[in-house]
Amino acid sequence: NVIGQDSDIMHIVHVTAEMAPIAKVGGLGDVVTGLARACLHRGHRVEVMLPFYECLQKEQINDLTLSDTYLSYHNGDWVSTRAYRGHVTGIPVILIEPANQFFKGQRVYGGSYNELEAYLFFSRACLELMQVTATQPDIIHVHEWQTSALSLLYWDMYHKLSVKKPRLILTIHNMEHYGECRQEQLNICGLDGSVCSTIDKALDDRTIGHNPERLSLLKGGIVYSNAVTTVSPTYVKETLCSGWLSNTLMQYCEKYVGILNGIDTVLWDPATDVFLPAHFQAHEIEGKQICKQYVQRGLGLDSNLLTVGKNSTSKGNDSPLVVCITRLVAQKGLHLIRYAINRVAELGGKFILLGTAPDGRVQEEFEYLSNQCKESNNVRLLLTYSEELSHMLYAAADIVLVPSMYEPCGLAQMIGMRYGAVPIVRRTGGLADTVFDVDHDQSHADQPNGFVFEGIDEGSLNGALERAFQYYNEKPQLWMELVSKIMRIDNSWEKSAGEYINLYNSVRVR
Ligand code: ADP
């Protein structure tokens, strides 16, 4: 892609715990891949560094080769470490593999090793590799608490050695996890925990529940990075007003900005998606109905769909299919998801949930619900993680439900729209920045694209569900126009990548 290339080329290195599709747990993985690809297309040199998790899907890594063997510090020792290079969907990656038990196991998170120690090791090992290979990127872009310590390690240590050039960007994808640790745990990566343990550095500064022994890697990252971003403008406002990092963010508000996430339109394209039984796009929508039929039949959901023929539209006189694809955690509005399962069926629709719960009790509860509706013609709860199924469900869906209590950005609503699924969302964070109500949003009267509710109670969700069903059932022509319109909305990385490039340029050393 030579169109839109930047003339002033930068070397950008992402340091991250996730990358789609080889190590994706949630939106972080999608964002790293999408942003990296967009910057590559603009002509920049981009690399993604991530741990060589044992569970990486190696068949998706091309040209995988061992590039460096070196030693990196951990807890008084120097651990033999390997760096491998390769490409993932065309994006250069550097995979860091220590010769210890870190990053072993069948999952990205929740292995039997100490996660805090492993990511502290990884953060340092990335800088150590730059040091031993004399690599001087313009920008090191770190993400979440897992790699926040890199900013401290850089300014307190490596910048004083020979890695002089890079400037640091921290992106916070979710303020819920702040990398809590104690002084002595920070010592493990070679930082002096007692030096970092002050209010102006990484020490907890909560007025209520203040703990003088508690440090936050994320707070340290905010203090030590040259700029800090989060993933939507509304989430910036929300995090400046509440949450225990709000004081720190207020103090550094001049270097704190919200840049809306995009979606990777190469991985998410209904016109070419390898996981779909039929392809479609805004002006050629027939394939969507085939996807719906395929999914509903496959899952044993009774369907009275119109035969798909030359003159068919994507909407037959069938019932609306609502999907919800999410991690099953409190943030995502578990009580509203539970409520929607029954309410959608009562309203005459079909409901499919795709999700997993990291908390065993929540997983068990949803398994119980899943068993209860095993024989239902209207509801399926798929309590698993499946990239393939997620693509098929977005393609099959008439409606994508995102009833989050809070949502820094949210990708499901954007992916859903690209696949012709109308979003029903709660007005919070990035959902408020991307979905505008068909009936009520005066300020965005020109771009209504879904159904939005405000309250956290079931009645509020019900109001939005009923309105959506009414449109679907009683105004099919308007619904079809809405589907076609939302598929054309540009939520690609193109625009947001430009904002990141401007930010990189504003902090880099020339
Ligand atoms: P978060 O990062 O909080 O999980 P986002 O909306 O930013 O939420 O991103 C979620 C991403 O993870 C989306 O790409 C969504 O499709 C995907 N996802 C969530 N749960 C599953 C699942 N069980 N199987 C497949 N993909 C999932």
If asked whether residues 439 and 477 sit together in one domain, one would say: yes
314 and 176 in a single domain? The answer is no
Nearest atom of ligand 1 to the alpha carbon of 28: 2
Extended beta strands in 1-137, E state: 11-15, 45-51, 61-74, 77-88, 91-98
Nearest-CA residue for atom 12 of ligand 1: 26
Residue 39 CA, ligand 1 centroid: distance in Å:
23
ipTM given for this complex: 0.99
pLDDT of residue 310: 41
| Residue 500, CA distances (Å) to 14, 92, 141, 385, 505 in order | 13, 19, 10, 30, 8
Residue 271: inside a domain:
no
Q: Closest ligand 1 atom, CA of 355? A: 23
- 332 and 255 together in one domain: no
179 domain-assigned: yes
The Cβ of residue 55 has, within 10 Å, a number of other Cβ atoms equal to: 14
State the pLDDT at residue 306: 46
Question: How are beta strands 11-15 and 139-143 bridged, if at all?
Answer: parallel
Q: Are residues 209 and 327 in the same domain?
A: no
Nearest CA to ligand 1 atom 9: 27
Same structural domain for residues 240 and 367? no
SS (H, E, C) 322-370: EEEEEECCHHHCHHHHHHHHHHHHHCCCEEEEEEECCCHHHHHHHHHHH
Atom 8 in ligand 1: residue holding the nearest Cα? 27
245 and 293 in one domain?
no
pLDDT score of 318: 85
Per-residue pLDDT at 1: 40
Handedness of CA 280, 313, 425, 278 (dihedral sign): negative
CB 154: neighbour CB atoms within 10 A? 25
Looking at the structure of the chain, the number of domains it has is 2
End-to-end CA distance of the chain: 26
The answer to whether position 100 is within a domain reads no
Ligand 1 centroid–CA 363 distance in Å is 16
Mutation pick for ligand 1 pocket among 265, 404, 405, 411 (CB with most ligand atoms within 8 Å): 411
Instruction: Report which ligand 1 atom has the smallest distance to the Cα of 382.
Output: 23
What is the predicted pLDDT for the residue at 446? Answer: 66
CA 140 to chain centre: 19
Domain membership of residue 161 (yes or no) is yes
Q: What is the pTM for the complete model shown?
A: 0.91
- The DSSP bridge pattern shows strands 77-88 and 91-98 to be antiparallel
Check whether residue 246 and residue 335 sit in a common domain.
no
71, part of any domain: no
C-alpha 239 to ligand 1 mean position (Å): 22
Q: How many angstroms does the Cα of residue 355 sit away from the middle of ligand 1?
A: 8
- Ligand 1: residues with CB < 6 A are 26-28, 30, 325-327, 354-356, 385-387, 390, 409-412, 415
Verify that 213 and 302 share a domain, yes or no.
no
Residue 65 domain flag = no
* Distance (Å) from CA 390 to ligand 1 centroid: 9
Q: Are residues 330 and 254 in the same domain?
A: no
State the DSSP H helix or E strand holding residue 180, giving kind and residue range, or none if neither: strand 180-181
Query: Looking at residue 313, what is its pLDDT?
Result: 47
Which DSSP string corresponds to 435-490?
--BTTT-STTTT---BEEE--SSHHHHHHHHHHHHHHHHH-HHHHHHHHHHHHH--
343 with 430, same domain: the answer is: yes
For a ligand 1 pocket test, name from 25, 327, 418 the mutation site with the most ligand atoms within 8 angstroms of its C-beta.
327
Question: Which segments in the chain show pLDDT lower than 50?
Answer: 1-2, 305-314
CATH number at residue 170: 3.40.50.2000
- Rounded to the nearest 10°, the torsion over CA 74, 76, 82, 84 is 30
Q: Is residue 272 in some structural domain? A: no
Whether the Cβ atoms of residue 61 and residue 91 lie closer than 8 Å to each other: no
Same domain, 419 and 374: yes
Domain span at residue 248?
11-45+114-264+494-507
Establish if 350 belongs to a structural domain: yes
Distance 19 CA to ligand 1 centre (A): 13
Q: Are residues 254 and 316 in the same domain?
A: no
- Which of 18, 144, 326 to mutate for ligand 1's pocket (most ligand atoms within 8 Å of CB)? 326
Give pLDDT, residue 308.
Answer: 43
